[in-house]
Structure 1
Amino acid sequence: MNQPRGLADGLRLPAVALPLGLYVLLRGLDAPVLKRLQELGLQHQVNGENPISFCNVFFFAQLVVGVAALLGGRRQVGPALAALTTPQRWLLATDTLLGRFLAPVAYFTALQSLSVISQTLLFALVLPLSALLARALLAEPLPRAFLPSLVLISAGLLLPQLAATTSPGPMDDPSGLVWALLAVLAFSAAALTGRRIAAAGIPPVLSVGVGSLVSALVFAVLAVILYGPGHFLLLRLWWVVGVILIYALSLSLGSELALRHAYRHAGVATVSLWGSLTIAVAVLAAALLLGEPLDAATVAGVLLLLAGVGLARRRPLPFPGGRGDHL
């Protein structure tokens, strides 16, 4: 006998609460922790260079995610690869390039020039841009409340900037804005490739497992070319704990596993809606952990952003949540 939809949703709430809350916390801490690691690297340079680079950070982050994704389905890799058509192979390559290389590099570089709060607010643009790209390229309908949500998101972005015109933040730099917008574009485009991958039925062992391992290999090669093998060998305790244990294992892998578990108990719309709270977690963590200013205009901007994102997510999005929904 089928249960009423409302009752079934209510029964799923306790099961989804823990993984969803864990995802919100870990994803929200991503930018503040990465920013703190960048600062520590500047304070403890090795041979005059910051030991925290996008190469070694994302090498370990992508490595642990890729290995974890392959552990349960490594026997499926060969048959799944053999079953791929040529267009599907290009689709996976494009998704890896956008979502696992270009977007993280731009995200990391932007964070070097922007405050965590500024970057977090800017990344709210991923939602409307993804919807617009899905409409233009995949002919998918926009959410019913797209226009008012876009107005609220724009107001939430502009309010703190207008309030800061008389006293701009010391950590913000114009180059960081360019990198942030590039990251937003890459994450938004990756949402579309992720949507097409899901529609094609390509298993996560390929899209996540193999894709992450390939990008990890690219980051390792770049690290050797740009910095030499000493970039990995001259490790210190704070580096190992910060990069491998906290960022790679806890934040990257932890948020990925929590998100997957949440999707087992709730739909995309529910997970995406509550996932918007990562904005508030990131802003609050930046204020508490990094001492970034949290004034009334910023608080009001965050509230407007949450309202706009929540309004857009009252109906299922035209793309699945997850990596492309990097809020």
Structure 2
Amino acid sequence: MVSWFNKMPGRAYLLIGVMIFGVANSVTRKLTEIGAENLIDGRNPISLCNVLFVGNLCALIALIGVYSRQLNPTAFRHLSSKNWCYLLLVALLSGALAPGLFFSALEQTAVNNVILVSRIEPPLILLLSVIFLQARVNSWVVSGAIVSAVGVVLTVVLQPPGSEMIQMSAFQLGRGELMATAGAVFSAIANIISQVSLKNVPLGLFNVVRTAFWTIIFFAIAWYLFGIEHFMDVSSPLLWKWMVFYGTVIVVIGQLSWFAGLKRSNASEVSLANSFNPIAGVLAAFFILGETPTAAQYIGGLVILGGIILNQIGIVRENKLPSKTSVSSSVGFKGV
């Protein structure tokens, strides 16, 4: 069984990762609905804070088991003070702030909006990669990034008026969409910091330390903002039952599959797999939550799809020119 699993092609790993990450937002929303149906003295045991804290804790335990061989004193001693600082910063951005914003967005807007708006992250990563990593990309990739960004903007500004709207100049923008955008920005910045300053840190050690940091950071922030009583339902059996599933399947297996695919695939295969993430997310929202796309989501989604196609053409062309550097392996948000 293990031998067969190790012989799986990179595309298969990428497909598994994309499918898992694609359903993450819908599963998160569904879990909060399950919690709302099983209140404890009027409180939802599967709340924002409980999901992020307990889910990260379960993921941390699973990651320690997977990467136990890399977690030795020598590996930790090789981490410099700068490594620790950057790990702390990445954990704050991608482990506490970004998931918190995405989860808050899921509470205030449709899952499809969060999925489509989060597609602003790949163009942001591309821009930051060109600025800070001197990455060279062709006009097709740049055009795809611009078109995708336009699609995200259309998804946001074409939303019908609602109660959770903020007036900005001549537009009314949804709070949930703005939170999802902010989450994508933080996630993109964390991605670049990881590529620039943590590329020499072993993957297993990086994932374990980052997850440990963001679990502690999120707990400290929530304790400071809401008080320790905010976690009074953290021992709920219902919460732990679902978080063991969420932390193990969504976080750990999803990450391991994606990273395994990255090692075994070329840039065009990674880019192609990544392009299916919003499609998987929208389908998951329909089948799990019964959420059908709105007119704004159809328009924005089609434009984003056009940008993805342009990007894929650019990646295929770049693969024919080995001297160029591709940044297509950068991926967008893959769920809370």
Relative to the length of structure 1, the TM-score reads: 0.81
- The aligned counterpart of 1:227 is 229
Contact 1:191 1:325 in 2 (8 A): no
Q: CA deviation at 1:55?
A: 2.5
For 1:99 and 1:162, the matched residues in 2 are separated by 26
- The aligned counterpart of 1:39 is 33
- The aligned counterpart of 1:9 is none
Q: CA deviation at 1:212?
A: 0.6
- The aligned counterpart of 1:7 is none
Contact 2:11 2:269 in 1 (8 A): no
Q: CA deviation at 1:295?
A: 4.7
SS for the counterpart of 1:321 is coil
SS for the counterpart of 2:144 is helix
SS for the counterpart of 1:231 is coil
For 1:258 and 1:103, the matched residues in 2 are separated by 22
What are the equivalent positions in structure 2 for 1:74-93 lying under 5 Å apart? Answer: 74=69, 76-93=71-88
Please give the per-residue CA displacement for 1:240-297, whole angstroms capped at 9, x wherever unaligned.
443322x222211221121122123213442232122110111111122212222566
1:107 aligns with 2:116: no
Q: CA deviation at 1:20?
A: 1.9
For 1:15 and 1:146, the matched residues in 2 are separated by 26
Let me know the Cα RMSD of the aligned residues: 3.0
Contact 2:155 2:300 in 1 (8 A): yes
- The aligned counterpart of 2:54 is 60
SS for the counterpart of 1:232 is coil
For structure 1, which segment, 123-132 or 249-258, has the greater mean C-alpha deviation from structure 2 after superposition? 249-258
Note closer, same or farther for the CA distance 1:211–1:300 as it changes in structure 2 (3 Å cut): same
Contact 1:268 1:320 in 2 (8 A): yes
For 1:319 and 1:16, the matched residues in 2 are separated by 15
1:318 to 317, 327, 332: 327
For structure 1, which segment, 83-92 or 66-75, has the greater mean C-alpha deviation from structure 2 after superposition? 66-75
Q: CA deviation at 1:19?
A: 1.8
Contact 2:113 2:177 in 1 (8 A): no
For 1:221 and 1:160, the matched residues in 2 are separated by 34
1:122 aligns with 2:117: yes
For structure 1, which segment, 309-318 or 173-182, has the greater mean C-alpha deviation from structure 2 after superposition? 309-318
Question: 1:120 is matched by which residue type in structure 2?
Answer: I
- The aligned counterpart of 1:22 is 16
Contact 2:88 2:213 in 1 (8 A): no
Q: CA deviation at 1:143?
A: 4.9
For 1:242 and 1:154, the matched residues in 2 are separated by 35
1:131 to 126, 131, 141: 126
Count of aligned positions: 309
Contact 2:22 2:334 in 1 (8 A): no
For structure 1, which segment, 309-318 or 84-93, has the greater mean C-alpha deviation from structure 2 after superposition? 309-318
Note closer, same or farther for the CA distance 1:267–1:169 as it changes in structure 2 (3 Å cut): farther
Q: CA deviation at 1:202?
A: 0.7
For structure 1, which segment, 268-277 or 247-256, has the greater mean C-alpha deviation from structure 2 after superposition? 268-277
- The aligned counterpart of 1:190 is 190
Relative to the length of structure 2, the TM-score reads: 0.80
Note closer, same or farther for the CA distance 1:177–1:51 as it changes in structure 2 (3 Å cut): same
For 2:182 and 2:158, the matched residues in 1 are separated by 25
Residue ranges of structure 2 left out of the alignment (5+ in a row):
1-6, 166-172, 319-324
What are the equivalent positions in structure 2 for 1:191-206 lying under 5 Å apart? Answer: 191-199=191-199, 201-206=200-205
Residue ranges of structure 1 left out of the alignment (5+ in a row):
1-12
For 1:152 and 1:194, the matched residues in 2 are separated by 26
For structure 1, which segment, 13-22 or 210-219, has the greater mean C-alpha deviation from structure 2 after superposition? 13-22
For 2:152 and 2:258, the matched residues in 1 are separated by 26
Question: 1:135 is matched by which residue type in structure 2?
Answer: V
For 2:257 and 2:51, the matched residues in 1 are separated by 21
SS for the counterpart of 1:145 is helix
For 1:151 and 1:131, the matched residues in 2 are separated by 10
For 2:8 and 2:75, the matched residues in 1 are separated by 35
Q: CA deviation at 1:49?
A: 2.5
For structure 1, which segment, 68-77 or 287-296, has the greater mean C-alpha deviation from structure 2 after superposition? 68-77
Note closer, same or farther for the CA distance 1:59–1:269 as it changes in structure 2 (3 Å cut): farther
1:207 aligns with 2:206: yes
